[in-house]
Amino acid sequence: MKKTASPYPSASMKELFDAIAEIESKEEAADFFRDLLTIPELTEFANRWQIVKRLVDKQSYEKIAKELKVSTTTVSRVALWLNNGRGGYKAVASRLFSSS
C-alpha cells in the first residue's frame, strides 16, 4: 500500500508557527525553544543554522564539516534546502548575513 504524503503544513504545524510568531524577544525565544526541544534537538537545529551561515559565506563543504564536526552529507542536505527549498533559509539569512 502506497503512503500518501502528509499535507504541509499540517494544522498542528500551523499552530506551532503561530506560537513562534508571537515570540517577543530573544530571551523569550530561548525560553520557548528550551521548553519545546531537548538540548540535542536544539544543538542539531543550531548546527544546521551554522551550516547555512557558512554556506552563505561560500565556505567549502569540507571546511564546514570539519569545523562543525558533521558529515559532508549533512552539509549537502542543508545546502539542498538552502538552494532548492521553500526559501525560508534564504529569507532569514538575507536579513542576518551581509553576504546573502
User: The domain spanning residue 42 has which CATH number?
Assistant: 1.10.1270.10
Indicate the angle between helix axes 88-96 and 39-56, nearest 10 degrees: 70
C-alpha cell at 20: 513562534
Residue 5 lies inside a defined structural domain of this protein: no
**Where does the pLDDT of residue 100 fall: very low under 50, low under 70, confident under 90, or very high at 90 and above?**
very low
| Structure confidence by residue, pLDDT tens digits, 79-96 | 999 999 999 999 999 999
Provide the domain count of the chain. Answer: 1
Q: Give pTM, 2 decimals.
A: 0.87
Q: Which residues contact 79 (CB under 8 A, 6 or more apart)?
A: 51, 55, 61
- The radius of gyration of the chain from alpha carbons, rounded to an integer in Å, stands at 16
Range of the domain at 70: 12-96
* pLDDT at site 1: 66
C-alpha–C-alpha distance, residues 76 and 71, integer Å: 9
| Structure confidence by residue, pLDDT tens digits, 54-68 | 999 999 999 999 999
Residue 4 lies inside a defined structural domain of this protein: no
DSSP 25: S
Residue 77 lies inside a defined structural domain of this protein: yes
C-alpha cell at 7: 499535507
The answer to whether the CB of 61 falls within 8 A of the CB of 72 is: yes
Residue 43 lies inside a defined structural domain of this protein: yes
Residue 30 lies inside a defined structural domain of this protein: yes
Residue 76 lies inside a defined structural domain of this protein: yes
Query: Nearest to residue 68, comparing CAs of 54, 58, 56?
Result: 54
| Structure confidence by residue, pLDDT tens digits, 6-65 | 889 999 999 999 999 999 999 999 999 999 999 999 999 999 999 999 999 999 999 999
